[in-house]
Structure 1
Amino acid sequence: MRKIVATFFAAFSLAFLATLPALAQSTQATPARQVAPSPAMKVAVRRMLDAMQFPQLTRSIFDQMLQSVPAMIRQSAQQQINSNPKLDEQRKARALASAEEEIPVAIATLTQVLADPTLIDELSAEMVPLYARFYTVPEVDQLTAFYKTPLGRKMLATMPQLSAESMAISQRVLIPRVNAVLEQVMRAATQPPQ
């Protein structure tokens, strides 16, 4: 079950990071600069995060994601257990029942992690050097102006739902591939040396 939960959390992290509007926009072809954020950049990014209503947006994204987590963990567990050639049907049934019992524990743990009052502040603080690597202060100011437009507001309003659906898509596409790699590694690791 730990492997299942670890795989899920990896997919969860990828999906979350892929859905933040700021991070999604930073995938431009512009090379990242390794620059310490200037005072002007710090102010510009904080203004942009305020325009984005970053704390509320992030909490909404977390809430949307938490709604789909049980089904995602269940699907990942079923794929891993059912594809394990070492398990007969009886063991698979026991493993699935055990996984089902672990899902509430995993959800409670994830909920606790996401409820940490310092999490949003830490994420916000990390946005400043991230933007300093990819954007100039005038570009951040343009993003801020965009987030204040009707389209920018609409994008922010739909972001939690987009993020939940992106997470489901990422899980559906990524987890089987990750599981296939894990199975390959496990087969190689359990093969007797020749």
Structure 2
Amino acid sequence: MSAPERAADAELKLEAVIQKLESSVLTSGEGKSLTIRGSSEDAPPTRLPARIREIVAENLSEQESPAACPGEMSSLLSLQEENRLLQQELSRVEDLLAQSRAERDELAIKYNAISERLEQALRLETGERERESLENKSLAQQNIELRRRLEEEQAAYKRKLQAYQEGQQRQAQLVQKLQAKLEQAHLS
């Protein structure tokens, strides 16, 4: 097999490995392609298969001659294998990171919902206490007002009763005086 044929064969095998990697590892369970951040914070995310192709292309372009010696070829293959393993590890870590972000977001949503419910419950409880306090104050004021009216009515009743009793005594005195005059008039 000639050097160009070996290079073409290696390139086909590499393409097959990349395709298998893309289909089995680099696609999430929902069929979405995974992405990685660019080299700087401002750079847009890059699809992972495209980044793998870039890395492989960079490593292949570093070879100066197409007719590489067998030692260089085995070194290239070990670097490619190492790159493949690193890419798998990167993919796994990115999956874990995405999963932890999703869990964090879910926890944040739950935390906000619980906080809102707690605040609402506290507001209701505080409102109920204030309403009960106002009701208690209102009841206490009504109670005081009723006691005052009762005392006034008792005092008025006592005055009327005393006036009635005094009137009865005067009437009894008048009746006695009248009886005494009638007896005198009968006797005389």
- Normalised by the length of structure 1, the TM-score is 0.28
Structure possessing the higher radius of gyration over alpha carbons: 2
Relative contact order higher in (CA < 8 Å, ≥ 6 apart)? 1
Instruction: Give TM-score scaled by structure 2 length.
Output: 0.29
